[in-house]
Amino acid sequence: MRKILFILPLIFGGFTAATCETPVFRYALERWTADNYTLELPASLSLNELNEKSNIEIKAGSAEEVKIYYPHSKSPFFTEAVENFSYSELINSPARDEIVKRIIAGDSVVWVVLTTGDELPEEKILEESLRAAEKSLASEKVELKFSYLQIPRHSKKERYFIASLLAIEADLTDIKETIVFPVFGRGRFLAPLVGKGINSENIKDQGTYLTGACSCEIKSQNPGLDLLIKFDWEKALKNQSTVEDKMLPPLIGTGAFLQGPYVEKDNSHREKIIEEPSEVCAEQKSSQRNTSLQSLGIILSFGLLFIVILKKLKPHLQ
């Protein structure tokens, strides 16, 4: 059974991937809206002004402390006494401003480097690895720019930002080595590289995913978490889209191959009939028939291939 589960993605993966050729980092920037964090405040604390540009929701809590939750999480990753809480530092910080600035300026990925002190022992290998990954992963269609941003873990102004990074894995707060997180899109970050794991092979592996074609366009089915960032991404990215939506050919019944107008759905999800002018009717119908036949042929081919594979694997399943 494991063989079948392994082979199926190989068969149908290419069929799905054909819908998007945009690199993950760029697709995420243009299409993946950041999920909302939740800020739980005690009744004794109220905020006079909220920033609508931040991906955060606020609710009242019963405890006498501030709690911060990851998107879709029921357990807080950070708690703080009311007297120490700063809403402005929660939604914004110098490091996050710098990340946004670099991404909008054209950086493909910003690797955030958390150090135990002010020094970065892995500086040479990190710099060399990023440059090597840039060179090896770039193509004629994709120009890459990788950079890193060093932040000491003891920084008070970055405490919320640092806590949100470290909470992605349970044991990171106990690690005393350098930790590196790739950040891309609208502030999405992946699981980190730690200590000796900060090397050219691992950085290239992360870069391969981030610069590869976005075969799965559904954000929740991709790895990573969103950061809490105060920024108007929609305004900054207006009229800068590079993503080309490539839909698979529509599948229509066999009767439509021979007659009848083409039916599609508009943005309001109401069916409408597209009338075909008589002077171009024959050409459009011919094109639709050819496209539909090609689509049907592809699906039948996959189906036959799947049947053949099942027959070959049948003895192993008994």
- Note the pLDDT of residue 282: 38
The answer as to CATH 1.10.3470 being correct for domain 21-34+86-236 is no
- Note the pLDDT of residue 97: 98
Strands 225-226 and 56-61, bridge-based pairing: unpaired
Q: How many CA atoms lie within 13 A of 81 on its CB side?
A: 2
- Over its length of 318 residues, how does the chain's per-residue pLDDT go in tens digits? 433 333 333 344 444 434 468 999 999 999 999 999 999 999 888 776 677 789 999 999 989 999 999 999 999 999 999 999 999 999 999 999 999 999 999 999 999 999 999 999 999 999 999 999 999 999 988 899 999 999 999 999 999 999 999 999 999 999 999 999 999 999 999 999 999 999 999 999 999 999 998 777 788 889 999 999 999 999 999 877 666 555 444 433 333 333 443 333 333 322 232 233 333 333 333 444 444 445 455 566 666 666 766 666 555 555
Q: How many CA atoms lie within 13 A of 195 on its CB side?
A: 6
- Note the pLDDT of residue 13: 41
- Note the pLDDT of residue 314: 56
